[in-house]
């Protein structure tokens, strides 16, 4: 079977209040385009019934499948699997909480086609997040600019990647820094990076998990480790062997 043109990976952890609406709205948007697509739900060990909802949606819709984590592995693993488990010419990872409206996705797709971009970053001019999260994001964006020369806003929000970029990238990060690692590599490949402003909607169900202090500290530590790796040092495991994981799709 030929790979789909568009792949949408949906991140899900305890999102039973919004998951079904998210998938059904995304299906309607993509079916209206008339192009081959897939939706892959990355289910991260939810305990609120999301797992069962995801399985039912996959049974009811041939375009939907589920990649199930046996336990909660965290956002880094969800992002990595979002890129690895998809097969489309273009992949986008969306949250299941509807803070990004599926109806806005065609605007980003059109922008990628019109600009002939390899990566499209979606920016939030009206970001609905707590002040502390916005402060941390601004600090993160400044550090990434200083350390890697990549000056972009909304580093950890929605992006569209062409398969040609993903197949050349290497993912070593295990935190939300997966986003930064891919973007830095795309920048160094000479990929064309475009951006578009689209609305950001307040969360109405579920609970955000991205503002934990421990995760933020781990993320910033990994940011500097990423800088060392980019300077030529090799990450090694406990046995002294080089560790490298390719960000390639799997059927």
For residue 235, the model assigns a pLDDT of: 39
Of 60, 39, 58, 46, the residue nearest 17 (C-alpha): 46
For residue 73, the model assigns a pLDDT of: 96
For residue 132, the model assigns a pLDDT of: 66
For residue 165, the model assigns a pLDDT of: 97
For residue 194, the model assigns a pLDDT of: 97
**Where exactly are the structural domains of the chain?**
6-230
For residue 27, the model assigns a pLDDT of: 99
For residue 215, the model assigns a pLDDT of: 59
For residue 251, the model assigns a pLDDT of: 32
Q: How far apart are CA 57 and CA 61, in angstroms?
A: 6
For residue 238, the model assigns a pLDDT of: 36
For residue 134, the model assigns a pLDDT of: 67
Averaged in consecutive runs of 10 residues, what is the pLDDT profile of the chain (251 residues)? 90 97 99 98 98 99 98 95 97 97 98 98 79 69 78 88 96 84 93 96 66 65 74 43 39 32
For residue 230, the model assigns a pLDDT of: 65
Q: How far apart are CA 184 and CA 202, in angstroms?
A: 29
Q: What is the pTM of this model?
A: 0.83
Q: How far apart are CA 57 and CA 47, in angstroms?
A: 17
Span 6-230 CATH architecture: Alpha-Beta Complex (3.90)
CA 195 centroid distance within chain: 15
């Amino acid at each position: 079977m030929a790979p789909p043109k568009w792949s949408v990976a949906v991140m899900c952890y305890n999102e039973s209040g919004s998951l079904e609406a998210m998938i059904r709205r995304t299906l309607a948007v993509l079916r209206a385009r008339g192009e081959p697509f897939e939706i892959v739900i990355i289910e991260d060990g939810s305990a609120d019934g999301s797992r069962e909802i995801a399985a039912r949606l996959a049974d009811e819709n041939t375009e939907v499948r589920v990649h199930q984590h046996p336990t909660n592995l965290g956002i880094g693993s969800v992002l990595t699997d979002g890129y690895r488990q998809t097969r489309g010419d273009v992949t986008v990872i969306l949250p299941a909480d509807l803070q990004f409206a599926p109806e806005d996705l065609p605007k980003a797709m059109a922008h990628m086609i019109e600009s002939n971009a390899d990566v499209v970053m979606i920016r939030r001019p009206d970001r609905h997040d707590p002040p502390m999260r916005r402060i941390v994001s601004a600090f993160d964006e400044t550090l990434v600019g200083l350390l890697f020369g990549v000056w972009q806003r909304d580093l950890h929000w929605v992006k569209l990647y062409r398969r040609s970029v993903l197949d050349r990238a290497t993912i070593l990060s295990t935190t939300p820094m997966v986003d930064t690692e891919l973007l830095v590599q795309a920048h160094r490949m000479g990929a064309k990076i475009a951006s578009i402003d689209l609305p950001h909607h307040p969360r109405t169900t579920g609970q955000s998990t991205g503002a934990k202090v421990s995760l933020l500290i781990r993320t910033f530590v990994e940011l500097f480790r990423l800088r060392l790796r980019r300077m030529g040092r090799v990450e090694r495991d406990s046995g002294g062997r080089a560790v490298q994981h390719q960000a390639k799709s799997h059927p």
